[in-house]
Structure 1
Amino acid sequence: MVGKEILTLQFGHYSNFVGTHWWNIQEQGFEYNSNIPSEINHDVLYREGLSPRGEVTFTPRLLLVDLKGSLKTLPEIGELYERLPHPSEVKVEWDENLVETRPGPSEVKNKFQADLEDPEKLQSVSKESYDFDKDARVWSDFLYTRFHPRTVNIVKEYQHCNENTPFDAFPLGASLWKTPQFEEDFSDKIRNYIEECDGFQGFHVLTDCTNAFGGLTSSCMEHLQDDYGRKSILVFPVIPSHFPDNEYQTEEEKLQSVIIDSVRMLNVALSFNEFTENSSLLVPLSVGSTGWRQPGLKREFRNVVYDFLGSITCEKQLCDFKLPDGKKVSIEPKLPYHSSAILATALETFSMKYRLKSSGFALADLSADLNQGGRKVAAASLCLPFPLKEGGDLLECLDKWEGPLFQSITPNCTIGNYRVMQHVALRGIAEERLKKPLNQAQKQRELPAYRCDSIEEMLTLFLSYTSEATASNVTVVQKPLDVRNPFPRIFNRNIAQNGCVSEFERADGIGVEKVPVLSGLHTGSEVGQMLENLHTEARKIKVARFHQFASEGIQKDDFEECLDNLFALRENYEDSYVI
């Protein structure tokens, strides 16, 4: 298989939640039956290797960064290549009488991680019953994929969830990159991965942008531009759907939350400015409708109910739910395990364009299509699951469609239908579900879309009718999205096991295994409005009042330049722009 390799970089705890779901989805969907060759070129994001025991391994081409204490039971070097010895097995050269041993806090593997180590249970974990809503406190709790030893990189200087020394401000991350120990080690690992590639094409960068990881990522991307400037860099800043400090009870806590919100706002503005400077394309992701200041109400998806106060089975639309014991539905999603799965679903789907075996499309082509005229920011959308009825067809589904085709997953941004450039991917609908056979078509034969001979042709036609002066690039993948464990159980009971909308509810104990998905990347005037909103909110903040920034050299003039850059970027999205 020809190269086209991509190296993925993940910075921050929430980005690692999203990334964990993304890698899990891919690995659960691997085809091991040679009679059914995969449409997807997995070599784009994965690498083949050999363990010290001579076993062939297939691991993500990935470097991730997180803080000390974020891994729980996962060893930093992983578990695929070697087993860490128990402390009792380690021989110490010192006189034992002169050494005092103090055991640190120990973590116990949850049932899912324990079952992954049991050969007899490994094959059945996708159908077992696990309480991930309760157990998935960090991303490694639901990690199915196994990593290469160089993948995980832990920042020892900062502790995860430590309020005394928070890693919360953009300059802290920028300063961390400048330390020789971090920069040299991380740069060497990047180079090692790239030297293994035959046709390396660029980078995926998945990063937190509301804390200091924005600064760390910005410095790393500057390094990528300096050393690999001709390669494409597609960056996805992710914003959590919930921040614990927003749940204040007193006036003092409310004031503190407002201050922390302002710090996050500064981080987002500084990050977006640097990311656009050093990337080919920037795609912000969040299921929160607002994103900055506070995440806002969650984005709603047809036949999906996510993030309950308690683990229950989805049965109806959100507004119809009555929960036991007087509990209420969470308006603001609190479980990163849920919200990150939705973002990972979109990532896995819209990235198909340059990951298919049959496609000659590259990461650079996607960026060139969407960043014309200096439009270096795009919005993302998702339709999960695509509501194809059991026994129905795509023509019937689209002909009866009401409302927008897409739901935005970019904060403060809607998906427009006028003068837009967009790449759309639809997966999980077989060609035989395109339309009714001629002898059964009846009124369908009178529709212009009945003349379409493929899923791609019909979706392209639908987009041309519903979007004015819009250029649409459509990708179709036959394989549906695999949503078995450890994907969260967020689908309504009227979604059948195969992902289709059914007239009947699923029986107890039967979970959804695969679903059709529609996702896209879009650039239009609505993205400019998002940037204008970011500029307006950030301008309200006096950066000199925040010592975390002023003490590290970010002065008023620096922040004014950042704001000017954001406003200039916003002007590229005026309606006068011609596609």
Structure 2
Amino acid sequence: MKEIVTIQVGSFANFVGSHFWNFQDELLGLAEDPQSDLVFKNQCLDMDVLYRTGETQKGILTYTPRLVSVGFQGSLGSLSSRGTLYNEIPPVPSDVVSTWTGNISTHSSEPQKKNLFLQSLDEEEQEKLGMMNGTKSGKDDSQSKIRNKAIVESLENGVQFWTDYSKVQYHPQSLYELNGLWMDVQEFDNYGLGRDAFSEGLCGEEITERLRFFIEECNHIQGFQFIVDDSGGFSGVAAEFLENIADEYSNIPVLLYNVRDPVSYMKPRSRKQAISRNLHDAISFSRLSSFCKLIVPVGLPSPSRSKASKFLCIEDEKPYHSSAVYASALHSISLPFRMEPLTPAAESCYVSGAVDVNGIIKMLAGQSRQNMVTTLDVAMPAPSLTGKQADQYLLGNMQPLTPETAEEVEDLQAVESMTIHGTLGPGGRQASISEVKDSVQTAYEHAMTRPKFSYLSVASCPLPIPLPYPSIFGNLVGQHGELLGSPISGNPSRGSLEIHSIPMAARLRSSTTVLPFLQNRLGNLRRFGLERGALGTEILRSWGFGKDELEDTGETLSNMVRTLDPHPQVSSDSD
């Protein structure tokens, strides 16, 4: 077993992470449920890769994510920063000497009330305790259905925090709030603010110490799964954190997803804000990429209007919605990292294509081109392997979740890693591993272009849809994610009450499709930061950037562009 430590930095990163951990929790529950489908009982996934075992002071065994989450103070909603499993109250030093003689003002707020979903989790815990003591539950199926419908409606209309829909128990070392940064009173919108926040007080040391806690109990750590909301100041926090990681754990690879909420693409209020945002994007991406082995930009300006939402009903203004799509893709891409080694006895069924984080990085960033920026594509749900054109249909449904990518680009040097799981075959049954492999091979044989190298991982287990998952599926999606020939009447958007699981296909691609993304950032940095008389000089100086550091930042972006295009023509989308 090779462990992974997950790091989530920033508001939207934690929204994505909350869905991601809900999937893992659902898989754990389905594996133990005697009523669940056989495909969930034979997942062939080693959950110890992502989770750690522990024990409370009362001797209760725990199983919690190996996670460090960083967010604003006050961003945990009704959840304590110490989680709910370990309820010890930290001791207050008795020898504290107060030397302040001036006036003292206290600012406090009412604790957040738990929503219906979180209340239902508490009730379930009480019911479990009651059953252990011989007490039977008083609820019947009809009552549960009514309650679940009310829960789904309340989440659709009332999610404020990522903890509002989290069904996972967290370790006290996992949840870190940046002291003094209240999410409702401070604009935390640029790289410079994040850089300063990390260095102020003991913030950097405290976050790094929490990470060290999880690393030191690992036996054979395979890498870091790092998710950062890079649209504002948290990219600065993440970059400083990553620099510490690079210094202390230089041999542990970092797979970095920089994610963005559609709301972050709102039109700037002024010319100055537009310049600041363009510079932030360039600086942020260059700095983050400097401290990881592979970086994957994720987050479309309008998922609802993208090709990726062909079978989805997404509301762009709800981070609860878009983060669910991105988390689904991240779950799929990460499956090979925890697939159990294939044995002769299991060869005919459950998983194939296990690979660790370092293997994926070498595959995508270690080829002759040596580019470490990849795009993320997804088919959600993945189509079934039926019909005359099923092979082409699978590849044709793969759509980018990475912004500013080029379409229909022929790249003979492209390298990719694809994960397909839960695919349906003829008659709605689960397709076998060999059927999926044959279908993908046939698809590429008939494709107009094909990558130089493609690695395929396949699993029989589909993506489970837990109760707090948003109602984002269209009326052409069936109960098990099958794509229907005619729409289901009624509500156009469907969720966990109607959809139990879906097949997924996700792909990381190292290719020239990411060139526009890189060229735009390089062009904006040159125009607003590096050229003589650039309008953003004062902004960059206020962020703490000198001339030499800016030139290094520009060189990093130039090298990325040059790797994919030896004769670049830099463009800019500055306005």
Normalised to the residue count of structure 2, the TM-score between the two structures is 0.80
Change (3 A) 1:491 1:435: closer
- Counterpart of 1:117 in 2: which secondary structure? helix
TM-fit CA distance, 1:484: 2.8
In structure 1, the partner of 2:46 is 41
**Using the alignment, how far apart are the partners of 2:14 and 2:311 within structure 1?**
26
Alpha-carbon distance between aligned partners in 1 of 2:339 and 2:116, rounded to the nearest angstrom: 35
Asked if the contact 2:86/2:171 (under 8 Å) is kept, the reply is yes
One-letter amino acid matched to 1:411: P
State the Cα distance separating 1:469 from its structure 2 match: 4.7
Report the CA distance shift for 1:39/1:212 in structure 2 as closer, same or farther (over 3 A): same
Residue 157 of structure 2 corresponds to residue 134 of structure 1: yes
Residue matched to 1:401: 393
CA separation in 2, counterparts of 1:46 and 1:280? 23
Q: After alignment, is 377-386 or 119-128 more displaced?
A: 119-128
What is the number of residues matched between the two proteins?
A: 507
Q: Could you say if the C-alpha distance between residues 262 and 117 of structure 1 is closer, same or farther in structure 2, counting changes exceeding 3 Å?
A: farther
Alignment of 1:253-268 (within 5 A): 255-256=269-270, 258-268=271-281
Q: Which residue of 2 aligns with 1:204?
A: 225
Matched, 1:349 2:340: no
Change (3 A) 1:433 1:49: farther
Give 3-state SS (helix, strand or coil) of 1:457's partner: helix
Comparing 467-476 with 33-42, greater Cα deviation is found at: 33-42
What is the distance in 1 between the residues matched to 2:389 and 2:266?
A: 43
2: CA distance, partners of 1:564 / 1:61: 35
Quote the Cα distance in structure 2 between the aligned partners of 1:464 and 1:473: 15
Measured against aligned partners, the alpha-carbon deviations of 1:121-159 in whole angstroms (never above 9, x if no partner) come to 799699543222221112111111111111000011211
Residue 404 of structure 1: how far off its partner (Å): 2.9
Q: Distance in 1 between matches of 2:430 and 2:53?
A: 43
Give the alignment's TM-score, normalised by structure 1. Answer: 0.80
User: Is the CA contact 1:434–1:454 (under 8 Å) kept in the aligned structure 2?
Assistant: no
Say whether the 8 Å CA contact 2:69–2:175 is kept in structure 1: yes
Structure 2: distance between partners of 1:495 and 1:513: 11
CA distance in 2 between counterparts of 1:410 and 1:495 reads 24
User: How big is each residue's C-alpha offset from its partner over 1:410-456, in whole Å with a ceiling of 9 and x where there is no partner?
Assistant: 1101465532211111111257779999xxxxxxxxxxxx9x94312
Name the CA distance, whole Å, in 1 between partners of 2:106 and 2:544.
43
- Is 1:456 the counterpart of 2:469? The answer is no
SS at match of 1:161: coil
Secondary structure of the structure 2 residue equivalent to 1:29:
helix
Matched residue SS, 1:204: strand
User: Structure 1 residue 569: deviation in Å?
Assistant: 1.0
Q: 1:152 aligns with which of 155, 172, 175?
A: 175
Could you say which residue in structure 2 is the equivalent of 1:59?
64
From 321, 335, 349, give the equivalent of 1:338. Answer: 321
Equivalent in the alignment of 1:305? 313
Tell me the equivalent position of 1:16. Answer: 14
Secondary structure of 1:374 counterpart: coil
Relative to structure 1, is the Cα distance of residues 568 and 433 closer, same or farther in structure 2, using a 3 angstrom cutoff?
A: farther
The alignment partner of 1:28 has SS state of helix
Aligned partners of 2:377 and 2:508 also within 8 Å: yes
Paired with 1:54 and 1:284, the residues of 2 have a C-alpha distance of 42
Q: Is the 8 A contact 1:489 1:511 kept in 2?
A: no
Give the aligned partner of residue 523 of structure 1.
Answer: 510
SS of equivalent to 2:309: coil
> How far apart, CA to CA, are the structure 1 residues paired with 2:53 and 2:118?
24
Specify every segment of 5 or more residues in structure 1 that has no aligned partner in the other structure, as ranges: 86-93, 247-253, 290-294, 308-332, 438-449
Q: Distance in 2 between the 1:399 and 1:363 partners? A: 28
SS at match of 1:8: strand
Q: In the alignment, is residue 239 of structure 1 matched against residue 285 of structure 2?
A: no
Aligned partner of 1:494 in structure 2 is 476
The SS at the match of 2:72 is strand
Q: Hey, what's the Cα distance between the residues in 2 that align with 1:465 and 1:237?
A: 34
Residues 292-441 of structure 1: matches in 2 within 5 Å?
298-307=306-315, 333-358=316-341, 360-371=354-365, 372=367, 373-388=369-384, 393-394=385-386, 396=388, 398-399=390-391, 401=393, 404-414=396-406, 416=409, 418-419=411-412, 420-429=414-423
Identity value in percent:
24
Q: Distance between the aligned counterparts of 1:276 and 1:103, measured in 2?
A: 39
1:106 aligns with 2:99: no
Contact 2:282 2:524 (C-alpha < 8 Å) held by counterparts: no
Q: Quick check: 143-152 or 171-180, which moved more?
A: 171-180
2:455 aligns with 473
**Per-residue CA distance 1:33-52 (angstroms, 9 max, x = gap):** 58833221111111111122
The whole-number CA distance in structure 1 between the counterparts of 2:428 and 2:515 is: 36
Secondary structure at the aligned position of 1:284 is classed as strand
**1:369-416 deviations in whole A, cap 9, x for unaligned?**
10133301000001111132xxxx446452563983311001101465
CA deviations 1:48-98 (Å, max 9, x no partner) are: 11122222211110001111121121111111221779xxxxxxxx9xxx9
Q: SS of the residue aligned with 2:498? A: coil
2:134 is matched with which residue?
none
Give yes or no for the alignment of 1:161 onto 2:184: yes
Q: CA RMSD for the aligned pairs?
A: 3.3
| AA aligned opposite 1:111 | L
Equivalent residue letter for 1:382: V
What are structure 2's unaligned runs of at least 5 residues? Answer: 91-97, 129-136, 138-143, 342-352, 568-575
Instruction: Please give the alpha-carbon distance, in whole angstroms, between the structure 1 residues aligned to 2:452 and 2:356.
Output: 22
